[in-house]
Amino acid sequence: MSKKIILDIVFNNAMSKININPEESILINLESNGYKIKNSCRRGLCGSCLIKIIDHTTGNFLLARACVTHQINDSMIEIIL
């Protein structure tokens, strides 16, 4: 059984926490928690599901395609609309 991770999510300027399964993509985890994220190909090709992932400890961030990204730590995710 995989470890569950709790993430802080910033979506439309509102912060909340969700449990995610690291074996599933971030897109699937967000959808499972009721978030509607733009997407199209769901295979990492089109870029329509871009999100911003911020590392709480360093302040560094990266842009990632939610459909092919799996979260491995407790970083905060800020979704770019």
Chain contacts with ligand FES (rule: CB under 6 A): 39-42, 44-49, 65, 67
CB of 25 to ligand FES, least distance (A): 9
Residue 72 CB neighbours (<10 A): 9
CA dihedral 1, 41, 75, 61 (to 10 degrees): 150
CB of 47 to ligand FES, least distance (A): 5
CB of 3 to ligand FES, least distance (A): 24
Nearest to ligand FES of 57, 63 (CB atom): 63
Q: Are 80 and 13 in contact (CB under 8 A)?
A: no
